[in-house]
Amino acid sequence: MTSKMSNVIATLQANSKVRGKRVMNRTFTVKSDGDLNVKLSPQAVKCLEIICSLEQEEISEQGLVDLFVDDCGLVTKQDPYRVFQYYRKSLIDAGWITME
C-alpha cells in the first residue's frame, strides 16, 4: 500500500471513530408523508412518536441521542437510542424519516 493511501485510510479511520465511538454527524429529517399502510412494531411507532414530539423538521444525531437518553417512554432493558438504531431502517424505508 502506498504511503498516500495509508494516510487516506488513517484519516478516514480517525474521522469515523473517537475513542471507540462513532462520530455522530448525521442529520435526520422528519417527513409527514410516510406510508400509513406499512406495519411497524409498537416500539418503532413509539420512536417515531418521540421524534415527532419535537415538532422540528431536522434533528442532529446527537440531538436524537439526547432525546432518547431523557425519559422518552420506551419500556426496554436496552438503551432507548439503541432501539431507535434498530428501527431506523424501517422508518426510513416507510418514508417517515430521511438520513443525510
pLDDT in tens, 39-55: 888 888 888 888 888 78
Domain boundaries, the chain: 24-99
> Which of the two residues, 82 and 23, has the higher pLDDT score?
82
Q: Which three cell numbers stand for residue 62?
A: 446527537
Is residue 83 pLDDT above 70, yes or no?
yes
The count of residues in the chain is: 100
24-99 topology per CATH? Arc Repressor Mutant, subunit A (1.10.10)
CA distance 74 to 48: 11
Q: What would you report as the CA-atom Rg of the chain, rounded to the nearest whole angstrom? A: 16
Which residue is listed with cell 418521540? Answer: 50
Q: Which three cell numbers stand for residue 12?
A: 478516514
Which residue is listed with cell 432501539? Answer: 83
